[in-house]
Amino acid sequence: MLDLERLRSLLRVATSFIHSRWWLRFSDRRRLEAWQARQLTRFLRETAPQAPRLSAFRGQPLERWPGMDKALLMNEFSACNSQNIDLQAALDVALQAEHSRDFSPQLGELTVGLSSGTSGHRGVFLVGREERERWAGTLLARTLPTRLLGHLLPWRPPLRIAFFLRANSRLYTTLSSRRIDFAFHDLLLGLDAALGALEQQQPHVLVAPATVLRALADAHQAGRLRIAPAHLVSVAEVLEEEDAQRIEHAFGHRPAQIYQASEGFLGYSCEHGNLHLNETHLLIEPEWLDQEQRRFQPLITDFSRTTQIIVRYRLNDILQLAPTPCPCGRAERTLAAIEGRADEIFWLPALDGSGLRPLYPDLLRRAIATAQANLEEWRLRQEGMDWHLQVKAVEPGKADTALRQALAAFFQQQQVQPATLHTTDWIPDEPGAKRRRLLLQRRPEGAPCTY
Ligand SMILES: [Zn+2]
C-alpha cells in the first residue's frame, strides 16, 4: 500500500523531523539570528510577494512591510495568500467540516483551518500539503521526549497519541502513519464518551486543552479512567499552575505545553519544562506592553509558510518573558507564561489621576487563586467599573467574603480605584468550549490610558 506519493510524504515528515531535532538547534543567539536573516531574505524575495497585497514590497527590508491581523486577513483574504483562493470558497469547506464533524475535505491540496472565534472574529487559514508535512515533522521533533523516540523505529510497536480538540484537521492526521497510532477525540461529544476508547488505546502521549487534561486527571483519581501516559501535552488554553499540579499528581508527569494556533506553531516546552518561542521557524518581533519590557504582543513573520502569507501579523496574545535564560541552553527566547489575550487585560483608574492602568491577566488570576476561597471554578467579566464574578465554591458565603477581601487588597496594591464587585452562581460552559476566565467587555469611561 506504500505508493510513491505516500513514501514522498513520509520522507518529507522524516526529513523535517531530523532537520528540526538535530540540525536546527541553536545555542548561540547570534547564529540563530543569522539563520533567521537568511530565511527571511529568501522569504521576502521569493515567497511573500506572491500574495497580491504584498507584491509591491518585494526586495524591501521587513520594517517597511505593512502589518496585518486577523480582521485584515479575513477582509483581504484572497490578497493575503499565494494561491488566489477567496474567502467564501475556504469558508465553505471549513464550515461544512464543522457541521458534519468530518474533517477530511480539502480545497484541492489545501487544508483549511478554522480558528476559534472567542473574540468574535473567526479566522480561516490555508495550509499546503508540503507545509503540512514539514509542520508535522517539526512539531514531533520539538515535542517528543527522547524516551519515546524509540517508538518511531520500524521494529517497535507504534507510538500511540490521543488528541482532544474542538475540531480535528488534516493538519493533525498527517501525523498518523504506521509508526504513529493517532486517535482524535471530539470534545463536542463530551468527555465521558471518550473514556472507554482512551482506556482501550492506552496512549503514550496525551494531548488536550488544560481543562480537559485536568478533567481526565480527576477521572483517573476517581478510578473511572485507567491509563498511564508517559507524556502529557497541554494545548489551546492557558495552563494554570493549580491545574498543572493536579495533572502531575494524577499521572506522575508534569504537562508540557505546545503553543500552536492557526497562525502557526509558535512555541513548545523543552525538557526543563520551560516554554520557548519557535524562533527557528518564525521571526517574532515583540511589541512591548510595559516599560520593563517583560510583557509583549508578538508580531510574527512565518518564513516557513508558502500558502497563507503571514508577515508582521499581530497576535492577540500577551506573552511574558522569563527573567532568566533556560538551563537547556536554547537560544530561542524563553517565556515565563502565555498570559492570555489582549481582551483579558482589565483596566481601572489609577489613584494618582494619571489615567487608566492595565491589570494583567496573570496578576488577576493570581489574586483570585490565592484568595483562600476554595473555588472549583470562576470567571470574571469587566463592564466599566462593574466586575461580574461567577463562582463555584464549596462554601459560597465564605468564598464571597474571601474574594472581596482579596480583590480589595489587590486594588490597593495596584494603586487603582476599586471596582464594584457582583458575585453570581456558576453557569457551566457548553461542552467543548474553550475556558475563558477573564473577559474585558468595556473599560471604565472618562479616563485616558496610561500607555
Ligand atoms: Zn529550555
Q: Residues 216-234: pLDDT tens digits?
A: 999 999 999 999 999 999 9
End-to-end Cα separation, the chain, in angstroms: 61
Residue 358 lies in a domain: yes
Q: What distance in angstroms lies between residue 99's CA and the mean position of ligand 1's atoms?
A: 40
- Among the candidates 308, 323, 342, a domain finishes at 342
Residue showing cell 495568500: 81
Is there a single domain that holds both residue 284 and residue 373? no
Q: What distance in angstroms lies between residue 31's CA and the mean position of ligand 1's atoms?
A: 17
Which cell numbers in the block locate residue 70? 486577523
C-alpha span between 86 and 74 (Å, rounded): 10
Largest CA distance in the chain: 72
Name the pairing type of β-strands 334-341 and 159-165.
Answer: unpaired
Is there a single domain that holds both residue 298 and residue 419? no
Q: What distance in angstroms lies between residue 327's CA and the mean position of ligand 1's atoms?
A: 6
Q: What distance in angstroms lies between residue 273's CA and the mean position of ligand 1's atoms?
A: 7
Is there a single domain that holds both residue 119 and residue 244? yes
Is there a single domain that holds both residue 323 and residue 375? no
Q: In total, how many domains does the chain have?
A: 2
Residue 223's Cβ-side half-sphere holds a number of Cα atoms within 13 Å equal to 0
Q: Outline where DSSP puts E strands in 370-429.
A: 375-383, 386-393, 420-425
pLDDT for position 392? 92
Is there a single domain that holds both residue 267 and residue 398? no
- Among the candidates 311, 342, 373, a domain finishes at 342
Which of these, 316, 382, 388, lies nearest to 349 by C-alpha position? Answer: 382
Q: What distance in angstroms lies between residue 323's CA and the mean position of ligand 1's atoms?
A: 13
All residue ranges of the chain with pLDDT < 50 are: 1, 119
Q: Residues 29-47: pLDDT tens digits?
A: 999 999 999 999 999 999 9
Is there a single domain that holds both residue 179 and residue 327? yes
Is there a single domain that holds both residue 398 and residue 432? yes
Question: Residue 374 belongs to a domain with what CATH number?
Answer: 3.30.300
Q: Tell me, what DSSP letter sits at residue 263?
A: T
Q: What distance in angstroms lies between residue 333's CA and the mean position of ligand 1's atoms?
A: 9
Residues 280 and 26: beta-carbon distance below 8 Å:
yes
C-alpha span between 97 and 109 (Å, rounded): 16
> 94 by DSSP, 3-state: which?
helix
pLDDT for position 66? 96
Residue showing cell 538547534: 25
Residue 286 lies in a domain: yes
Q: What distance in angstroms lies between residue 334's CA and the mean position of ligand 1's atoms?
A: 7
- Among the candidates 299, 318, 342, a domain finishes at 342
Range of 108's domain?
4-342
pLDDT for position 394? 87
Separation in Å, CA 448 to CA 46, 352, 355, 357: 44, 13, 5, 9
Helix 210-221 × helix 241-251 angle, to 10°: 40
Q: What distance in angstroms lies between residue 211's CA and the mean position of ligand 1's atoms?
A: 24
Residue showing cell 545555542: 27
Question: Residue 274 belongs to a domain with what CATH number?
Answer: 3.40.50.12780
Q: What distance in angstroms lies between residue 266's CA and the mean position of ligand 1's atoms?
A: 15
Is there a single domain that holds both residue 284 and residue 371? no
Q: What distance in angstroms lies between residue 308's CA and the mean position of ligand 1's atoms?
A: 29
Is there a single domain that holds both residue 364 and residue 422? yes
Residue 291 lies in a domain: yes
pLDDT for position 185? 86
Residue 448 lies in a domain: no
CA triplet 114, 115, 119: central angle to 5 degrees? 135
